[in-house]
């Protein structure tokens, strides 16, 4: 799943260079996402739900963001997201994940790991009651998909750096500590399409004179479509609610 490095350069060139944060801020966050997989994976469209019996599982995520007032230099947000699902299923003869179809029907252990780390470089185009950020994300996937049967197994390493366009729109309610945000990462190139969006509600409150805290409730959805890219085919979606705690210094 390797995309040409010049794509990232192209996306960087498209990013506005006219806006910067008007304060220095540090954000730390930790949360849990209840993601449910649907759709299919593999050369024979193996259904993640009905065939592989993959169900909702809790996955942790953590992030840090730094915003500053230096002109032209983008702000930075780094987030690590676990995306692990496992189970057991009866794999029928002919099932093909990556080119070595099962020759007999057998019970197998299933693992799907789409864990990734995002480095997002962005500018604050608007920063008031309405917030609007634009930038690019470099997403590093480090995972695998595997079917481990009694006499046969198939597996695919999922390692790639993917460039994505990034955007966020937020609206806050003055004096209440309440805010709503919609953010997304997106790319659609040749045989690869990834759409990762989230919507959330934040309630922020004072903890110390120099520190605020926020409770965040949201919903995240990630669509991954691959058409025989690096031996992997996929038309899968991962959806669910998340809860997080954020500290702002």
Cα gap 27→212, rounded to integer Å: 10
What's the 3-state SS for 110-165?
Answer: EEEECCEEEEEEEEEEEECCEEEEEEEEEEEEEEEEEEEECCCEEEEEEEEEEEEE
pLDDT digits (tens, 9 = 90+) for 158-183: 888 999 999 999 999 999 999 999 99
pLDDT digits (tens, 9 = 90+) for 180-239: 999 999 999 988 999 999 999 999 999 998 899 999 999 999 999 988 665 678 999 999
Domain of 236, in residue numbers: 5-248
CATH number of residue 73's parent domain:
2.40.128
Most distant CA atoms of the chain, gap in Å: 66
Total number of domains in the chain? 1
């Amino acid at each position: 799943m390797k995309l040409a490095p010049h794509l990232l350069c192209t996306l960087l060139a498209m990013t506005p260079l006219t806006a910067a944060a008007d304060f220095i801020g540090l954000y730390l966050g930790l949360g849990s996402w209840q993601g449910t997989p649907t759709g299919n994976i593999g050369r024979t469209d193996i259904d993640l739900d009905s065939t592989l019996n993959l169900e909702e599982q809790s996955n942790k995520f953590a992030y840090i963001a730094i915003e500053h007032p230096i002109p032209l230099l983008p702000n930075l947000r780094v987030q690590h997201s676990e995306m692990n699902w496992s189970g057991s299923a009866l794999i029928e003869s002919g099932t093909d994940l990556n080119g070595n179809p099962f020759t007999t029907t057998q019970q197998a252990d299933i693992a799907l790991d789409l864990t990734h780390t995002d480095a997002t470089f962005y500018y604050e185009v608007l920063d008031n009651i309405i917030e609007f950020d634009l930038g690019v994300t470099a997403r590093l996937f480090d995972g695998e998909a595997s079917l481990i049967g009694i006499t046969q197994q198939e597996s695919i390493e999922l390692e790639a750096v993917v460039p994505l366009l990034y955007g966020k729109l937020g609206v806050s309610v003055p004096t209440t500590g309440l805010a709503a945000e919609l953010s997304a990462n997106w790319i659609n190139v040749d045989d690869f399409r990834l759409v990762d969006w989230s919507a959330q509600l934040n309630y922020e409150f004072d903890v110390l004179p120099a520190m605020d805290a926020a409770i965040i409730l949201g919903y995240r959805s990630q669509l991954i479509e691959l058409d025989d890219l690096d031996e992997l085919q996929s038309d899968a979606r991962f959806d669910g609610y998340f809860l997080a705690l954020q500290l702002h210094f």
